[in-house]
Amino acid sequence: MAVSDTPARADDAHTLPLTGERTVPGIAEENYWFRRHEVVYRHFISRCAGRTVLEAGAGEGYGADMIADVATRVIGLDYDESAVAHIRARYPRVDMRHGNLAELPLEDESVDTVVNFQVIEHLWDQSQFLRECRRVLTPGGELLISTPNRITFSPGRDTPLNPFHTRELNAAELTELLEDAGFRVELMTGVHHGPTLRALDAKHGGSFIDAQIERALAGQPWPEDLTADVAGVTVDDFTIVPENIDASLDLVAIAVKDPAPEDGAP
């Protein structure tokens, strides 16, 4: 997400501060980033139905609460103690825990699905985290993961634009990380702008995203038309398709922990 100087609404006691490290719902100027994250939850939530789900890096908690609509059980995990306290207070359906994603505080083969949306780019040891995800998954379990596409998020740079990111990935790099951790990549797809957002790109000088980032960094009130355009974005304004993956905004993958072959099997 973009770094933003827009404060959380003071009249909402349940809103975490908007620092640029996570997105939060209910803030007009943040709505584009929130919807861009929300669309991935909505697209893949059916894969969590009837399952025990771990959201590793639960952030604000809205996603874990969405998953709780369909899952048998949702465990949330985050290293930020303020986020843990916030989720426990606001989303009581989530079994929220404090812990390090490099050492998941769960037993082996104890969850059916791990959800990790817009988190791995924040981690210093991405390979260790993925190995931990595989350890806690049951045989046949799935890791649902999303991350900004390095090619479009920080184009032409060796270091990420977002100061909270440690390493961003392209599709080939994410695939390699997952396979090296022992996963089989079932799907690699991407989030793209749909027609409405492409029209807003054209309206705002070629990039709707850059227009938002420029205003956020300026630390000044946003123009009314930009605020209105951002506030009007919905999940339906994004598409998730595997085609043209290197041009996608965010990468989304389904990675499977295949059962071990039976003794004596070739």
pLDDT at position 35: 96
pLDDT of residue 22: 53
| Predicted model pTM | 0.88
Q: How far apart are the first and last CA of the chain?
A: 46
Amino acid at 170: N
- For residue 159, the model assigns a pLDDT of 74
Q: Which amino acid is at 87?
A: I
- What is the residue whose two structure tokens read 């390979």? 127
Long-range contacts from 8-16, C-beta under 8 angstroms, 24+ separation: 14/86, 14/89, 14/90, 16/60, 16/82, 16/83, 16/86
Please say whether the beta carbons of 164 and 20 come within 8 A.
yes
* Among the ranges given (29-38, 134-143, 174-183, 212-221), the one the predictor scored with the smallest mean pLDDT: 212-221
Q: What integer pLDDT is reported at residue 14 of this predicted model? A: 53
Q: What is the pLDDT of residues 163-178, one digit of tens each?
A: 778 788 999 999 999 9
CA distances from 109 to 13, 34, 52, 133, 137 (A): 37, 32, 11, 9, 5
Q: Does the pLDDT of residue 94 top 90, yes or no?
A: yes
Residue type at 184? R
Taking only the tens place, the pLDDT of each residue in 186-245 is 999 999 999 999 999 999 999 999 999 888 888 888 889 999 999 999 999 999 999 999
Q: What is the edge-to-edge ordering of all strands in the sheet holding 184-193?
A: 95-98, 73-78, 52-56, 111-117, 137-148, 250-256, 184-193, 238-241
pLDDT tens digits, one per residue of 12-24: 445 644 454 456 6
Please report the pLDDT score of residue 1 as a whole number. 41
Q: What are phi and psi of 148, to 5 degrees?
A: -60, 140
pLDDT at 12: 42
* pLDDT value of residue 165: 80
Cβ–Cβ < 8 Å for 83, 55: no
For the chain, what percent of residues have pLDDT higher than 70? 87
What pLDDT is recorded for position 162?
Answer: 67
**Cβ partners under 8 Å of residue 122, min gap 6:** 21, 57, 164, 165, 166
Report whether pLDDT(260) > 70: yes
Is the pLDDT at 49 greater than 50, yes or no? yes
In this prediction, residues 49-66 reach a mean pLDDT of: 96
Rounded distance between C-alpha atoms, residue 79 and residue 99, angstroms: 5
Mean pLDDT (whole number) for 47-76: 97
Is pLDDT above 60 for 10?
no
Taking the CB of residue 225, how many other CB atoms lie within 10 A of it? 10
Dist. CA 44–CA 46, nearest whole Å: 6
**Segment 107-111 mean pLDDT:** 98
Instruction: Provide the residue count of the chain.
Output: 266
Model pLDDT, residue 215: 86
What's the half-sphere exposure (Cβ side, CA atoms, 13 Å) at 219? 0
98 DSSP β-pair partners:
78
Whether the CB-CB separation of 40 and 253 falls below 8 Å is answered with: no
- Over residues 177-186, mean pLDDT: 98
Instruction: Determine the 3-state secondary structure of 258 from DSSP.
Output: coil
Per-chain mean pLDDT for the chain: 88
Mean pLDDT of 27-45: 93
- Segment among 8-22, 27-41, 126-140, 159-173 with least mean pLDDT: 8-22
Q: Look at residue 148 and tell me whether its pLDDT is greater than 80.
A: yes
